[in-house]
Amino acid sequence: MSWLLPDAVLTATGLQAGLAVELDGDLVGRVCPCPPGVEPERLRGKVLLPGFVNAHSHAFQRALRGVVQHAALGSDGGQGPKDSFWTWREAMYALAETLDPDAMERIATLAFREMVSAGFTTVGEFHYLHHQPDGSPYAAADELSLRIASAARTAGIRLVLLYVAYARSGFGVAPNPRQRRFIHRSPDDVLAAIGRLGDVGVKQGFTVGLAAHSVRACPEAWLRELSAFSGVIHAHVDEQPAEVAACLAEHGRRPVQVFADAGMVSERFSAVHLTHPDDAEIDTLSRLGGYVVGCPTTELDLGDGFLPAGRLDGRVGICIGSDSHAAIDPFAELRAVEWHARALAGQRNVLRPVPADDPRDGLALRLLETGSLWGARSLGVNAGRIETGRLADLIAVDVTGLEFAEARLLPTLVFNGGPAAVADVWVGGRRLKSSGRR
């Protein structure tokens, strides 16, 4: 056992000075004034927060950084066709075709290390590269999933492997040869892989969930079979208007209703993106439970649209992900959740604050819960608050920088903080990053 004594600890109602945190193996022990006779590690100039949770990641897409930030060129050297999510997707598919297991592990390790450095302590890896480029299985069927797990161990991040079910290129769409690495023959094959990986995860320290990729990739018959899975389920939902239109053409219903009718939507379900829902879909998510994973920096980068956080507020739990890793910055994701809401509503301070020791901190505290507690719940992980019995996934933020001078601390952490201020990181009580300053 060991003790940490920062300048303040984030509690459910705000920052509190004078508290020490006991690390009891991989859990938080006591959170209390430092007991007599204890010599804690003093974290001067730092505040202790629960680690951030990245609830949606495609680690291999980290290799696209800087590569897709220009429009495609035409044959004459001028700008080519209008760039969009769909043209970006073709560039992503081209990358996916080139990755062998070693490259996959190398890129994932880089992405996960950057997450840890930025303050993420858990990642939900939405993993859909399963097979060789020609679609045939590897000799070890779960080769690429195990490479993701190896990358997470190397980086030290807590992994929830969200194993993707992918059946087709879309309703009435000819098979895309670039998607051969993603596709399984049947829901039974998907569930069998999840079962195998779950057994390995028990030994190697990761957990496994199900990702039903989207309504365009999974026919309704697949969704009904996959809904028997008893763990967490994530899916891309309402990311693009064309996706919604294709779903209406096939099913006569919008995506959330298709997932709900298949028996998937519950308190274990997370809808990723949800940038184009209608009111009935929000009503369904609110009634049946579940979460929305917003990835604001990616949604802006891809031109997806704005997360309608104001319409979800108080009805559906919101958490964050970095998705394609255009940026890996939990602070940027959190303030963008609120800023998206402001842009859509034409007003400021949209999301309702949570009860706080000082009402001025309520919005910031709400957004910090979005970055930690709600993401942990979305992934089924016992983390997200600094409380006895929860996982000791913690970050210490150095608040001596100029950005914090003469400013109210908690709102400044959210609206002006960044990865550079993350000084120390612990996952399961194990220190992964240290500023060297005590």
For residue 64, what is the domain's CATH number? Answer: 3.20.20.140
| Tens digits of residue pLDDT in 389-420 | 999 999 999 999 999 999 999 999 999 999 99
Compute the average pLDDT of residues 346-359: 97
On the question of pLDDT at 175 being above 90, the answer is: no
Global pTM? 0.96
Specify whether 44 is located in the same domain as 21.
Answer: yes
Facing residues of 158 across strands?
122
Specify whether 89 is located in the same domain as 207.
Answer: yes
Interacting residues of 405 by C-beta distance below 8 A, sequence separation 6+:
none
Specify whether 62 is located in the same domain as 194.
Answer: yes
- Average pLDDT over the chain, rounded to an integer: 95
| Tens digits of residue pLDDT in 184-215 | 999 999 999 999 999 999 999 999 999 999 99
pLDDT band at 80; cut points 50, 70, 90? low
Q: What domain range is 248 assigned to?
A: 53-351
Selecting among 58, 213, 236, 273, the annotated active-site residue is 273
At 77 the pLDDT is 53
Query: Could you tell me the CA-to-CA distances from 349 to 238, 344, 392 in Å, in that order?
Result: 25, 12, 32
Specify whether 292 is located in the same domain as 246.
Answer: yes
Compute the average pLDDT of residues 12-17: 98
Which tokens sit at 250? 């096939």
What share of the chain in percent tops pLDDT 70? 97
Specify whether 34 is located in the same domain as 87.
Answer: no
At 58 the pLDDT is 97
Query: In 3D, which of 14, 3, 57 has the Cα closest to residue 356?
Result: 14
pLDDT band at 145; cut points 50, 70, 90? very high
Selecting among 301, 323, 329, 361, the annotated active-site residue is 323
pLDDT band at 89; cut points 50, 70, 90? confident
Termini Cα distance of the chain: 18
Query: Is 273 an annotated catalytic residue?
Result: yes
On the question of pLDDT at 138 being above 60, the answer is: yes
Specify whether 282 is located in the same domain as 416.
Answer: no
Range with the lowest mean pLDDT among 6-20, 49-63, 64-78, 183-197? Answer: 64-78
On the question of pLDDT at 324 being above 90, the answer is: yes
Query: In 3D, which of 133, 130, 201 has the Cα closest to residue 161?
Result: 201
Specify whether 30 is located in the same domain as 76.
Answer: no
Specify whether 197 is located in the same domain as 324.
Answer: yes
On the question of pLDDT at 79 being above 60, the answer is: no
On the question of pLDDT at 437 being above 60, the answer is: no
Specify whether 202 is located in the same domain as 263.
Answer: yes
Specify whether 95 is located in the same domain as 220.
Answer: yes
CA distance 139 to 197: 15
At 67 the pLDDT is 85
pLDDT band at 438; cut points 50, 70, 90? very low
Structural domain count of the chain: 2
At 82 the pLDDT is 77
Assess if residue 131 is contained within a domain.
yes
What share of the chain in percent tops pLDDT 90? 89
CA distance 224 to 14: 43
**Residue that terminates a domain, selected from 298, 327, 351:** 351
